[in-house]
């Protein structure tokens, strides 16, 4: 009887040690995952690519985002499977505890009864088989959980460049939405929207200019002025600025803007010899209205120490709607404020961006 009690206590101590070691292992893995995520978030890079490569980079980014979404879906499925298996494991442990208690009670009865008590011996043997079966199932579940966690950890180890480019895309969209929302607070009737690629603010031209004119409608000049003020407040977080913000006050994550491009567009009515200069003049009118409203906006520089605010004109080359209807043509007569970000091609560039943004006023 005492021997049996010692054996039970010994088994309980082994089980407790096993559980403690398992908890320690899980905790260690969780800490490692946090450290990996932290180090990944600290990585930075930069390099500037020409416009001709920009579209290719955008395509690569989109494919990277698609791969990331697929990975995140896989991670979600794996996490759900792990959760289900852990629930099954807990249930198996509860069953094992109950069966072990039953086995111990039967063993005690067998010890006190005569050898002829075949029924109790048979029940004890069955209980022992059940314990062995459950312990084997637990071992198999533990091994499967370990394999799934290792796979999950591999999936969560994102490439630093991929993670950075993903952050660039998300941060650019956040910047543009924030500018739009703050403008709409002051001008709730303003016709402004995000581009399809979420890389530009789009102002319908009829709202700022009269047909055939490159002069800003006076009643709309306040919109341009407010836009310049908001942009001037935001740019120090993403540029080399002579009036830099404290990095702790920025949410940029060491992401840098290459160019904020004021783009002029027209519909296809008339000749290109007329439309192209008209789109250029509208873009220039917007540019000068913004620099008049925010005198120091040209002090915000990109990685090449060039002002980020620039002008481009496309005439009727880049419609966003049909030119077959009056409404479509009105949509195409517009000003776009496009944000082109610094997109490095290797991980060394992230550190270059970080150092540039940490440099006060662009001076070492």
pLDDT given for residue 290 in this prediction: 96
| Section 318-334 average pLDDT | 89
Of the candidates 106, 109, 108, 110, the one whose C-alpha atom is nearest the C-alpha of residue 128 is 106
CA 257, CA 235: separation in Å to the nearest integer?
8
**Which pTM does this prediction carry?**
0.57
Query: For residue 55, how far is the Cα from the chain centroid?
Result: 21
pLDDT given for residue 341 in this prediction: 95
Max Cα–Cα distance, the chain, nearest Å: 113
Give CA angle at 63 (59, 69), nearest 5°.
Answer: 145
Task: Give the sign of the dihedral formed by CA 42, CA 49, CA 233, CA 226.
Answer: negative
CA distances from 281 to 214, 278, 338 (A): 6, 5, 17
Is residue 361 pLDDT above 50, yes or no? no
| Section 196-209 average pLDDT | 84
Is residue 65 pLDDT above 90, yes or no? no
Please report which confidence band the pLDDT of residue 363 belongs to, taking 50, 70 and 90 as the band edges: very low
pLDDT given for residue 223 in this prediction: 93
Looking at per-residue pLDDT, the higher value among 37 and 87 belongs to: 87
| Section 62-84 average pLDDT | 84
| Section 125-133 average pLDDT | 88
């Amino acid at each position: 009887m005492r021997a049996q009690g010692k054996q039970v206590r010994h088994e309980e101590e082994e089980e407790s040690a096993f559980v403690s070691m398992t908890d320690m292992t899980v905790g260690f893995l969780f800490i490692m995952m946090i450290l990996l995520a932290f180090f990944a978030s600290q990585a930075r890079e930069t390099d500037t690519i020409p416009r001709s490569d920009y579209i290719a980079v955008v395509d690569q980014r989109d494919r990277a985002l698609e791969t990331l979404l697929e990975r995140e879906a896989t991670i979600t499925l794996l996490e759900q499977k792990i959760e289900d298996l852990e629930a099954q494991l807990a249930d198996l442990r509860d069953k094992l505890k109950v069966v072990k208690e039953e086995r111990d009670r039967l063993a005690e009865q067998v010890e006190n009864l005569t050898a002829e008590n075949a029924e109790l011996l048979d029940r004890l043997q069955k209980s022992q088989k059940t314990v062995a079966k459950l312990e084997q199932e637990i071992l198999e579940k533990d091994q499967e959980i370990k394999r799934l966690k290792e796979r999950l950890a591999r999936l969560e180890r994102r490439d630093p460049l991929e993670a950075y480019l993903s952050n660039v895309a998300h941060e650019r969209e956040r910047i543009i939405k924030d500018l739009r929302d703050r403008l709409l607070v002051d001008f709730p009737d303003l016709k402004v929207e995000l581009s399809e690629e979420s890389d530009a603010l789009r102002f319908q031209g009829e709202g700022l200019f009269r047909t055939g004119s490159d002069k800003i409608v006076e009643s709309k000049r306040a919109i341009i002025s407010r836009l310049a003020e908001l942009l001037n407040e935001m740019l120090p977080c993403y540029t080399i600025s002579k009036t830099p913000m404290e990095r702790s006050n920025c949410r940029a994550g060491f992401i840098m803007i290459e160019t904020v491009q004021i783009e002029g567009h027209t519909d296809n009515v008339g000749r290109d010899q007329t439309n192209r200069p008209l789109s250029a003049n509208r873009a220039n009118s917007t540019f000068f209205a913004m620099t008049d409203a925010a005198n120091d906006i040209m002090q915000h520089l990109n990685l090449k120490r060039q002002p980020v605010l620039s002008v481009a004109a496309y005439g009727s080359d880049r419609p966003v709607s049909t030119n077959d209807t009056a409404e479509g043509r009105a949509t195409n007569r517009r000003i776009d404020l496009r944000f082109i970000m610094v997109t490095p091609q290797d991980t060394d560039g992230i550190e270059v961006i970080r150092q540039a943004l940490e440099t006060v006023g662009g001076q070492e």
